[in-house]
Amino acid sequence: MMTETPKARPPLLVVISAPSGAGKTTLCRRLLEDFRELRLSISTTTRAPRGQEQHGREYYFTKREDFEAQIQAGEFAEWALVHGNYYGTSKKVVAESLARGQSVLLDIDVQGTESLKKSFGDRCVTIFIAPPSIEELEQRLRGRGTDSEESIRRRMENARGELAQSHKFDHQLVNDEFEQTYSRLHAIVSRALRGDR
Ligand code: ADP
Ligand code: 5GP
């Protein structure tokens, strides 16, 4: 009897968005450890490196004029101005990964998520991470110890607007207790990668 070859599942864009300080970087790191099939999309940004961040690991750090040249050259799948700096996703990385059948993990803002949904539609599974409260968000930003007062102020100002858009996402999680949030996130990503959403 012939055994049927399982149909290859189409690769996905797993898009995670959250107000700054809600914990998405920490959650994404764990996802990358547990889902070896996911490739992280490393964005390009004009903001300065923070803490231990390294060029090519957390971001490709670049000058404003170089970023603008990349926009002109059509190198971004999406880009946005966030908290006064440019951030963009490489079109090449996304296209190459999808062509290879590899799913991509993206940590991008709400505007970027909307742009990717327009370009990639059903290929996107979108997850919004909310903090338990605005007060806790501020404490986490301060506790991280990597942002200037001006940067914290700007991020807090933007947080309310971002929270108001959480309904546009396929899934919403409140990052209260970390392990519990991670286990919910793990279940969502696991189901999506199995093609069962
Ligand atoms: P983001 O990437 O969304 O800006 P981070 O992952 O850098 O946020 O998290 C901001 C800070 O909050 C970090 O110091 C991180 O260790 C901490 N943090 C993340 N999740 C939780 C949680 N569930 N409870 C308490 N602190 C958390
Ligand atoms: P941070 O400066 O804290 O690393 O990131 C600030 C915000 O920019 C976060 O909401 C993060 O998700 C978002 N961001 C990071 N990379 C990109 C990107 O390539 N495109 C867009 N649109 N947002 C991004």
Which pLDDT belongs to residue 196?
80
Helix %, strand %, coil % for the chain, to 5? 45, 20, 35
Spatial CA neighbour of 21 closest among 106, 116, 133, 104: 133
Ligand nearest to the CA of 94: 2
Residue identifier of the C-alpha nearest atom 22 of ligand 1 = 178
3-class SS of residue 48 = coil
Domain boundaries, the chain: 13-194
Q: Which atom of ligand 1 is nearest to the CA of 145?
A: 14
The Å distance, Cα 26 to ligand 1 centre, comes to 6
**DSSP states of 99-146 as a string?**
HHT-EEEEE--HHHHHHHHHHHGGGEEEEEEE-S-HHHHHHHHHHHT-
Spatial CA neighbour of 124 closest among 43, 180, 41, 57: 41
Pocket of ligand 1 (CB under 6 A): 18, 20-26, 140, 143-144, 175, 178, 181
Strands 60-61 and 13-17, sheet pairing: unpaired
70 lines ligand 2 (CB under 6 A): no
Which pLDDT belongs to residue 4?
59
Q: For tokens 């993206």, name the residue.
A: 106
CA angle 44–14–78, rounded 5-degree value: 35
Ligand nearest to the CA of 60: 2
> Which CB contacts under 8 angstroms, 24+ apart, belong to 151-154?
151/83, 154/83, 154/84
Considering the domain delimited by 13-194, tell me its CATH architecture. Answer: 3-Layer(aba) Sandwich (3.40)
Which pLDDT belongs to residue 136?
96
Ligand nearest to the CA of 108: 2
- The pLDDT profile of the chain, 197 residues, written as one tens digit per residue, is 555 555 567 999 999 999 999 999 999 999 999 999 999 999 999 999 988 999 999 999 999 999 999 999 999 999 999 989 999 999 999 999 999 999 999 999 999 999 999 999 999 999 999 999 999 999 999 999 988 999 999 999 999 999 999 999 999 999 999 999 999 999 999 999 998 86
Spatial CA neighbour of 14 closest among 1, 27, 3, 23: 27
Whether the pTM exceeds 0.75: the reply is yes
Amino acid (1-letter code) at residue 45: T
